[in-house]
Structure formats: C-alpha cells, structure tokens
Structure 1
Amino acid sequence: MMRIFLFLATNLAVLLVASITLSLLGVDRYTGTNYGDLLAFCAVFGFAGSLVSLFISKWMAKKSTGTQIITEPRTRQEQWLLQTVEELAQKAGIGMPEVGIFPAHESNAFATGWNRNSALVAVSQGLLERFSPEETKAVLAHEIGHVANGDMVTLSLIQGVVNTFVMFFARIFGDFVDRVVLKNEEGRGIGYFVATIAAELVLGILASIIVMWFSRRREFRADEAGADLAGKHAMIGALNRLRAEQGLPSEMPKTLTAFGISGGLKDGLAGLLMSHPPLEVRIAALQQRN
C-alpha cells in the first residue's frame, strides 16, 4: 500500500504552504465574497497542489524508500526482474518503466510516476527472497496494471477537484468566523486566516476518504490487469502469500503505505481511510472472475 498516502501527504503540504503564502501576500483579498471568482481561484491552486504532487511522486518514492534503480543488472535476479518488467510492459502497451529494489524485509511493491511511459516499478528485497518467480511476476503485473490504467493521473484529477472544494469551503468558513463570530467589520483579520487554515486541515482529512474510496476501487482493476498479464492463478497465489504475511510488522514508512500492493485491514471509521480492500475480498473477486 504505498502510492496514495505519499501523494496525499505531499498534496496537503503543498496546499497548506500555498494557502499560507497566498494569505501573507494578500492574494486572498481579490476574491472577496464573489463566489464565482473564489471558486476559480481555488481551482487554480487546488489543481496546482495535486499536479505538483504527481510530478514529484517518483522522486519522493525513491528517496523515501531507499529504492536502488537497476541500470546494469549485476545478478541473475536483477536480470530476470528487468526482463520480466519489460515483457509485462510490452503486453500492457506502455513504455519500459524504471525498475528498482528497495531494502525492506516485508513483501511489498509499488509503481508510481506522472506518465504511463515514464513510470517506476519497485519491489522489496523481502518479496524477491520469499515469493516464487510466478508470484513475483503477478505482483509486478499488478503494478504494471496501475501504470497502464493511468491510476496516478486519474487520482491527481480527483485530488484537484477535492482540493478546489476544500479551499473554497474553508474560505467561506473563515469569512463566517471573521465577520459573524468575531464581528470584524474592518476587512479580513487574523480570525479569517486561522479559521481558514484550520478548516483546510479538517476538510483535507475528510476529503481523503473520497480519494481512498477511489484507491480501493482501482485495486480491483489492477488485480484484474495482473490476472490478465500473469495469469489468474498466479495473481491469486500472490495475494494469498501476502495474506499469509499480513501479520508481519511493516518496515515501510507510514507515509508510503498506500503505494504498494499489500494493505492492512481496519474496521469502522478507520476502514474508510484504507487505500486497499481486504485481501480476502480481492481474492474472492478474482476467484469469481471468468
């Protein structure tokens, strides 16, 4: 599970920095209470946040996970990995991604990048050590499926829309607090700025539920792509292997857990913020597929 949390964390940080900077520069005042202008203003900066997150996603993934890119294979394993990714990429109709290995004992993998022809696919050292070649190929096929389906680009568009309305309603709330609660009649005061930033934080977290719902839907599509590219039984076998290891402690940074193929299971409200459906649900969906 690595792709989404990193994207969301970066996006929220960009959004907050942009909001604070724009407020300090006084740009906010030009929108006034004209909701049409305000919505256009929020759309410009809301989409900017998500697009910046998209364009730097590959660089951040490499730095955060310590992924080592394979440029010249030094072992048979690395040679097999490059050849397998190349084969899967050709079958999926995408450009050859960068291929890397990141140092983690847990079994995981991820794919990211702003362009389906300029992506990154990486697997953990632990996965390579414990998964069979057939299972490893299925995991790689799942990640290639994310790239071929354009999941990161679609996610960015959805996040841009979400950002727009987070900024929009946060500023309406800030105006309400400043004018109605604090009775400020002399233009926007400190109450507006504090209330706006606080509202952006809260609404940003709530909006993440929408993004996570989208992420869970896309996992089913990536599983189907993995089954098409590597075989249904191989994909089910890989998910079963991940399920068997689900209780192992994760060595992946918390901000990256939405990037990979494996996701933890939580109940209740916390389940709404999970980027992956339960593995048993994903396995059942593949078993029912013709």
Structure 2
Amino acid sequence: MNLVKTAMLIAFMTALFMGVGYLIGGTGGMMIAFVIALAMNAFSYWNSDKMVLRMHNAVAVDRANAPEYYGIVESLAQRAGLPMPKVYLIKNDQPNAFATGRNPDNAAVAATTGLLQRLSHEEVAGVIAHELAHIQHRDTLTMTVTATLAGAISMLGNFAFFFGGSRDNNNPFGFVGVLVAMIVAPLAAMIVQMAISRTREYSADRRGAEICGNPEWLASALGKIAEAAGRTVNVAAERNPATAHMFIINPLNGQRADNLFSTHPDTGNRIRALMAMAAEMDKSAASPAPAPRAAHSPRPSRSGTSGIPNTGGREWGRGGDKGPWG
C-alpha cells in the first residue's frame, strides 16, 4: 500500500510540474516539463542517497573508525529485520539525523557529530531506530523524490518571473498564468512535501520505539534535539532547505505549531504520543502482576536490548572523549 501511495504522490507531483510548464509555455512548455520530470524522477530514484549525502558532506564510517555508532546501527537493523544500511557521519554541531536511499537494500543512515556528542547511548539508539523505521516503511524514496520535484517546481516559478512576461512565449493565460506559476504552484508543491513528511513522522516514531524497545528513549532524544536545533545553525541544511523534511527534527527552525506549513509535527505532540505508547507498554507488562523486584534495581528494557552495544550510560563526547568516530 505504501508503494501505491508513493506512486500516486510522484504522479501528482509530475502532473503539477507539467501544469506549471503549461502555464509558462503552453503545450510545448508542458511537454518539456514532462520530459524534465521523467528525467528527474529517474535520477532521484537511482541517485537520491548519494545526492543528499553529498549535500551535507557526509562521510562513510565503519566498525573500525566508529565502533559504537556502527554497532548500534547494526544491532537495530538486525532487530528490525533489515539489511545493514550504509553508515555516515556528518561533522555538524547540531544534533540531527536522517535516512535516505531508494529501498532497504540500498539505504543509508547519517547522524551528526552533535547528535553523538549530546545524546546518551539509549537516546542515540532511539534516533537510529526512527531512521530505520523510515527505511522499513520506504519513506526515504518518497521524501527524496518529492523534495526534488518540489524544488524543480519552485525553479520553474522563478523562471516564470524572469521570462513569463515575454510576448514570444505560448502562455495561454497571459499574466494570470505567470502569477499562478510563480506563486500558487510552488506553494502547492511545498504543502504536499511538508504534509507528507509530517504524517510519516508519527508512524516512524511508533515503529522506531518498537525497534529499540523503549519509547522513552526516542521521546527524550526528540526533546534534546529540538532544544539544541533551535540554538545551533546547520549551514548545510540552510543551503539545501528542500532536504529539511528528511531530518528527524527540522534543522532550519523550531516551529512549534503542528500546521500545514511546518516540515515536521510539533515535537511536543510527538513526545506525548511516545509517552502514551510507553504507558500502554507498562500497563501491558503489569498484567498479570509482575514479580517484585528490589527498589534499587534499575528499570529493565521493555523488550530487551542486550544486543545493542552499551556505553555504560555515559554520553559520547563528554569528559574529553573524541566520540565513536575516532
């Protein structure tokens, strides 16, 4: 079903792209836009991961130079029943992460150095599990292709601004068509892009909590990331705003309203949903009555995470540590 929705979304974005071409140059403009849309879809399908990773200067890491980070990704991928994705590190103080790739067999997970430095081991596991959920749901292809086409439609709007008023073009609607191409069509593309991202974040949060075994880990991580992201500039994201919806938290700004124009749902709403999920899991675990345990005993993991490499509860990068990347 998710693949069908993805195909429908790509078809809609392609039609919107062709519509802008028609408003700018008539039938000829529409056909040119159609050819461009096909080429961009094909390019995005085969090269989406490389394109996005290059935009953010991501560097591939492995077990040798990032043992803890790589180990978490590997263990969680096994728990989720996914092929091992490629693992990347982004040198950026803003704590954030994203996943990309056309399918689970050709996927990549990228985290910033800020994420590994500021979050605990458990919180990092929650974030990585969220990104693996996007891969499992095949959201990464949809988000990348949508971002590419939305950016292209905005580009056509800019083209209309400079060339749409020429008397030599075949625009059948005159100046009105140029205005629509300049304003309405790019706005529609942006709305679709952002709405798609928001609806899928809740699903990835829930599945990510299931993968890592504890919703509270991801809830805590989201709170820390949102707070830090609002105070730390992500230069690469500012230069490539069309990729903002791919991150776990909006890297561009700290919008607090869950509205149509935000790239992500309100963080508070996401945390509340995860805490409600944690309460449900606690309630389920308490029936029948659990065996008593000592008051000083640490709270066990809900689903067992012994396969995830642990750092003893410390946060990476503190106390002079260089972090898991060496």
Contact residue 45 and residue 145 of structure 2 kept, 8 A: no
Instruction: Look up the equivalent residue of 1:98 and give its one-letter code.
Output: K
Contact residue 50 and residue 159 of structure 1 kept, 8 A: no
Matches within 5 A, 1:66-105: 66-71=57-62, 73-74=64-65, 78-105=66-93
Identity of aligned residues (%): 26
Residues 1:141 and 1:197: Cα distance change in structure 2 (over 3 Å): farther
Q: Cα deviation per residue 1:7-31 (whole Å; 9 max; x = unaligned)?
A: x9xx99xx69x959x96xx9828x8
The answer for the alignment partner of 2:247 in structure 1 is 260
Q: With structure 1 as the length reference, what TM-score do the two structures score?
A: 0.69
The answer for the alignment partner of 1:249 in structure 2 is 232
Q: Name which structure has the greater RCO, CA cutoff 8 Å, separation 6+.
A: 1
The answer for the alignment partner of 1:49 in structure 2 is 40
Residues 1:73 and 1:52: Cα distance change in structure 2 (over 3 Å): same
The answer for the alignment partner of 1:236 in structure 2 is 219
Matches within 5 A, 1:100-249: 100-155=88-143, 189-190=168-169, 192=171, 199-202=180-183, 203-230=185-212, 231-249=214-232
- Structure 1: distance between partners of 2:178 and 2:47: 24
CA apart distance, 1:220:
0.5
Contact residue 99 and residue 134 of structure 2 kept, 8 A: yes
Aligned positions, number: 245
Residues 1:144 and 1:28: Cα distance change in structure 2 (over 3 Å): same
Contact residue 212 and residue 275 of structure 1 kept, 8 A: yes
The answer for the alignment partner of 2:56 in structure 1 is 65
- Structure 1: distance between partners of 2:84 and 2:259: 35
- Structure 2: distance between partners of 1:241 and 1:160: 30
Residues 1:217 and 1:125: Cα distance change in structure 2 (over 3 Å): same
Contact residue 145 and residue 226 of structure 1 kept, 8 A: yes
Where structure 1 has 5 or more consecutive residues not aligned to the other structure, the ranges are 1-7, 32-37, 171-176
SS of 1:190's equivalent in the other structure is coil
Residues 1:61 and 1:157: Cα distance change in structure 2 (over 3 Å): closer
Residues 1:201 and 1:112: Cα distance change in structure 2 (over 3 Å): farther
Residues 1:118 and 1:261: Cα distance change in structure 2 (over 3 Å): same
Q: Cα deviation per residue 1:90-148 (whole Å; 9 max; x = unaligned)?
A: 22222211101101001001111112211110110111111111101111111111111
- Structure 2: distance between partners of 1:118 and 1:42: 29
CA apart distance, 1:239:
1.4
Q: With structure 2 as the length reference, what TM-score do the two structures score?
A: 0.62
Q: Cα deviation per residue 1:256-284 (whole Å; 9 max; x = unaligned)?
A: 3222111244378x953322111101001
SS of 1:245's equivalent in the other structure is helix
- Structure 2: distance between partners of 1:51 and 1:197: 28
Mean alpha-carbon deviation: is it higher for 194-203 or for 50-59? 194-203
- Structure 2: distance between partners of 1:135 and 1:123: 12
Matches within 5 A, 1:266-281: 266=255, 271-281=259-269
